[in-house]
Every structure is written in structure tokens, then in C-alpha cells.
Amino acid sequence: MTPSTAETVLFWVLAPIMVLAASGLLFARKAVHAALCVITVMISLAFLYVAQEAPFLGVVQVVVYTGAVMMLFLFVLMLVGVDASDSLVETLRAQRWVGWLAALGLGVVLVGVVGRATYPDAVGLAEANAPGNPTGVARIIFGQHVFGLEVVGALLVTAALGALVLTHRQRLKPLVKQPERAAARVAAGGRLTPLPAPGVYARHNAMDVPALDPDGNPIDESVPRVLRIRGQEAGTAEYRADTYRRAVTAVLAERGVVGDGEVDAALGTVEDDPRPAAAPPGTTTGPTADIDLGGGSTRTETER
């Protein structure tokens, strides 16, 4: 029995492709390219199996190797990082050359022995495959190798459990969810509510005017942080809720005190760091001082 012409053509088309793809595995810089090369080799092998009267193995090759094993490889590449490439540092001296030599020697020995050996005349599988190739394979597996099949089943279960155990991650800290976060926030004693919105009674284009608290004092936090850093926060003197102030002023006026400073002193609302009054809508007063934002910040407009 000799291979048919069609099989010869198939072999000579596929063999160079397979050897090239295998060299791709050896030389490819990126692991993903290597994986694609191996997939090429495996699919070509499936073709060769079918040509060699082993259609069952051909199908299993595609399903198990290219379908499961190589996809697993690609998933792990995704986990590990696609660009995980080889290090160039040689830890063992001359290992590269010894490796090349050993691999070449192995190739020469294998090819030499296998190529020069004398084989009996090929019998071919026409007779063994008479009831169908999967049927013939199944008769042998479930006839002579039942125990082996059971052991392999146990091995697969063990491997699955082993993979689960190996990739299991122990939780080192207790799980932090929303209730724990809320409790931690209350315990920390910071502000629990959202920040107050800036602006006073729509009397100004009010992003730069702080809101006032019930006593009439400005709440600095209500102005956006960017404006505060740039120094564009406006003063609030003219927007203060001034009912109380008017009452105090009236009382003071009866006593003969009329100056604004005295009223402020009596009210206790003197601003520590007086800021200019709010600019008319559409204009800004600009930054009042240089502010160092640290190395990580982008340039500010006051930077020279």
C-alpha cells in the first residue's frame, strides 16, 4: 500500500507550512504570534490525521488541541500580559549555544534513524477501519483499555481540582462593602452631606461667591476647588444676609457708633483674609497670588 497522489500533494503542501510555523514558535518575539503558529501546526496535523485514515483523531485534534488547549493558552496570555517577552539576560553561561547544539543533535539523530530504518510493507487501515474508524477505535478503547480510560477520567478530575486549588486566592482582609464604608465614614467624622452649592440668592454670577451659613458667614468649601486654588473666590461682604446686621447697626447707631468696622467687630464677622468683591458677571479679577500645586500638577496660568 502506498500513499495516493492526492495524499502526496497534501503532504508536500502541509509539511513546509508546518515546519515554518513550528520555526515561528521558536523565533517569534511575541507569545501571541507563537500561539498562532502552534495553532497552524495543530490544524495542519488534523488534516494529516484525516489523510492517514484517522478521521476520529483528526476531529479530536481540532476539538481538543486547537479548540480547548490553545484557547486556554490564549486566555493565560491575556491574564499574564500579551507583551510578556523573553528576557535577554543569560543566567546560565553558554546555555544558548549548548541548547542549539542539543536540539540540532536531537533532530539529526531522530531524522537519521527514522529516515534510514527499514520498515515492513505498509498494511494500511482499510481492513481495521472497515466498521468505521470511530467504531474501531472505540472497540479497542472499551475492549482492551477500559481500566486505562477510567484512570484517565480520574486524572482529568484531579487536574480540574488541581487547577482550582492552584488559582484559588485566599482573602487576606475582610470584604469591604457599602455598610462598612458608610460606618467608616461616620466614624471618621468628616462631612457626610454633599458640599453646599455656591452662590447667594442669584444676586451674582455666582460660581465664585461662597454660600453663606445661617450666621451669614461665607462657607469656603462651597466654591469650586479650582477657583479657590486660582484665587478667584470673591468676597461676600455685600451679599451677607443682613437682617441681623441691620438690627445690630441700629442698636449701635443709638449708642453713637456708626463705622462699618465697629459693626463687623460687634458681629464677629470680620473676614480674616479679606478678598475683593465679586467682579461683575463675565469678568474675573484673576489670580491674586502664585500657588504651588506640586510637581504632579499641570501648569497654572500664573506660572512664568
Partner 1 sequence: MTLTNYLVLSGILFSIGAATVLLRRNAIIVFMGVELMLNATNLALVTFSRLHGDLTGQVMAFFVMVVAAAEVVVGLAIIVSIFRTRKSASVDDINLLKS
Per-position b or e across 216-241, b if 16+ CB within 10 A of its CB: bebeeebbeeebbebbbbbbbbebbe
**Among residues 47, 62, 107, 182, which is the contact residue for partner 1, using CB under 8 A?**
107
Q: Is 278 exposed, middle or buried (0-12, 13-18, 19+ CB in 10 A)?
A: buried
Q: How many residues does the chain have?
A: 304
DSSP codes of every residue in 30-55: SHHHHHHHHHHHHHHHHHHHHHTT-H
65 binds partner 1 (CB under 8 A): yes
60 binds partner 1 (CB under 8 A): yes
Please report how close the Cβ of residue 40 comes to partner 1 at its closest, in angstroms: 11
C-alpha grid cell for residue 88?
A: 535577554
Q: Is 2 or 298 the residue whose CB approaches partner 1 more closely?
A: 2
**Among residues 64, 195, 226, 241, which is the contact residue for partner 1, using CB under 8 A?**
64
Cross-strand partners of 219: 211
Q: Is 18 or 263 the residue whose CB approaches partner 1 more closely?
A: 18
Please report how close the Cβ of residue 159 comes to partner 1 at its closest, in angstroms: 4
Q: Indicate the SS3 state at residue 261.
A: helix
**Among residues 77, 237, 257, 266, which is the contact residue for partner 1, using CB under 8 A?**
77
Stretch binding partner 1 (CB under 8 A), from 132-140, 181-189, 265-273, 288-296 = 132-140
186 binds partner 1 (CB under 8 A): no
What string marks each residue from 3 to 22 as x (binds partner 1 by CB under 8 A) or -? x---xx--xx--x--xx--x
Please report how close the Cβ of residue 75 comes to partner 1 at its closest, in angstroms: 8
Number of Cβ within a 10 Å radius of residue 30: 14
Q: Are 235 and 274 in contact (CB under 8 A)?
A: yes
216 binds partner 1 (CB under 8 A): no
Stretch binding partner 1 (CB under 8 A), from 158-166, 190-198, 222-230, 262-270 = 158-166
